[in-house]
Structure 1
Amino acid sequence: MGQVRQPRRVQTYDAELGAAVARAQDGDEAAFAVAYRLVQPGLLGYLHGLVREDAEDVASDAWLEIARSLGRFKGDGAGFRGWTATIARHRALDHLRRQRTRPRAGGTEQDVLHLPAQHDTHDQALESLSTEQALELVRALPRDQAEAVLLRVVVGLDGPAAARVLGKRPGAVRTATHRGLKRLARQLGVDGEADDGVTDGTSRTLREWA
């Protein structure tokens, strides 16, 4: 298990994201839509790990707050991803607290990483993490490990940024990420073969992460 690398897709889109956010802060609605398209898939993957089928609803609440608070944001594309992840996490925790105080409504599982056809280019960039079963396996990790893996691998934050989102020391997040990825690798078997019930697509996804 080597050091977790920032996904190449994140490095590719960060400059575009930073420029779009700057234009959006000047009132450019089309630029805000660009920022949304770049951030939303990873944010949904992270939220799916926290609230499952309610990820879309929680993401909608988070984006309302992001839009209202956009003028207060200061930073680049990478900073914007961390800032939006922090807001989304707060909304997810609020949602989970509300769930504990009321009966859980039924729902159907959604493919939270599905994007409309017009975003095909971004779909292609997300192919390596589009396996819903892989997200379910991550969700089964201990909470600290699951959040660390989701923030580092799915959202694409570096160690210090993920630590700020979680309110922890970078070393603790680095350890949780390592343990989580190591546990996921064991799910594939020490000989590299997937355990029963783990599809080939999920196996490839987890190997890339690990």
Structure 2
Amino acid sequence: MSAVVRAAQGGDEGAFQSVFRALQPWLLRYLYVLVGEDAEDVASETWLQVVRDLDAFRGDFDGFRGWVVTMSRNRALDHLRSRRRRPRGDIPVEYLTDLPGTEDTAGAALSSAGISTALGLVARLPRDQAEAVLLRVVMDLDADTAAQVLGKRPGAVRMAAHRGLKMLAKLLEQSAAGPAEPAAPPPRKPAQKSSREGVTRTKSPTLKDMR
């Protein structure tokens, strides 16, 4: 794909379409966790910037992916600041299908309950962990490239991804177990009243008591 990127830089429209088709689905999944239903709008803004700055890019396809993701993240953060909106927590299934888990821990976590279910819970993670998991697992970026996108050290990104995957596994276990059934209320004790003789008698329950 590195040759395809270079061809796109040379003005080959078909090559650019190939690059777009290779990255767009992954980009939408990443952006959906950040900006929700506005993911397609932010992705469109990202690609406009890619076209505008394409000649300035230098590097291979892995570097190109990191370059595009960095643009998309900056656009997403600008979008959130302008709208003052929080990322949404639910993700349409069609955005999440057929995603491989590239790390052993990620693959184990994702395969335990289905990829759609697992990534649907990613937005519930703390922001730094969610982004680290998305970049490392969904976008399949190496730690160095992901660190450049996030402006952090590679070790910090690895740690955030590790913690995010551990928390994700716990969320998956809770999701698989389902909501706990509420405990049955204790039986109602019949009301009591005292007779004139001082003997305690049980009062018969009425419909009002049973409601």
Give TM-score scaled by structure 2 length.
Answer: 0.71
1:118-133 correspondence runs (5 A): 126-128=98-100, 131-133=115-117
- Classify 1:69/1:137 alpha carbon distance in 2 versus 1 (closer, same or farther; 3 Å): same
Q: Distance in 1 between matches of 2:34 and 2:145?
A: 18
Residue 140 of structure 2 corresponds to 156
Residue 68 of structure 1 corresponds to 52
Q: Percent identity?
A: 56
Residue 139 of structure 1 corresponds to 123
Contact 1:45–1:135 (Cα < 8 Å) also in 2: no
Tell me the number of residue pairs that the alignment of Structure 1 and Structure 2 aligns: 164
Q: Distance in 2 between matches of 1:195 and 1:46?
A: 27
Larger Rg: 2
Tell me which amino acid in the other structure corresponds to 2:154: P
The question of 1:20 aligning with 2:4 is answered yes
Tell me which amino acid in the other structure corresponds to 1:96: L
Contact 1:46–1:154 (Cα < 8 Å) also in 2: yes
Q: Distance in 2 between matches of 1:42 and 1:163?
A: 18
Deviations 1:89-108 (A, max 9, x none): 0000010011129xx9xxxx
1:51-130 correspondence runs (5 A): 51-100=35-84, 113=95, 126-128=98-100
Of residues 176, 198, 202 in structure 2, which corresponds to 1:194? Answer: 176
Residue 49 of structure 1 corresponds to 33
- Classify 1:111/1:56 alpha carbon distance in 2 versus 1 (closer, same or farther; 3 Å): farther
Where relative contact order (Cα < 8 A, 6+ residues apart) is larger, the structure is 1
Tell me which amino acid in the other structure corresponds to 1:139: A
Contact 1:145–1:176 (Cα < 8 Å) also in 2: yes
Of residues 162, 165, 181 in structure 2, which corresponds to 1:181? Answer: 165
Secondary structure, aligned partner of 1:41 = helix
Give TM-score scaled by structure 1 length.
Answer: 0.71
Structure 2: unaligned runs, 5 residues or longer: 102-113, 180-211
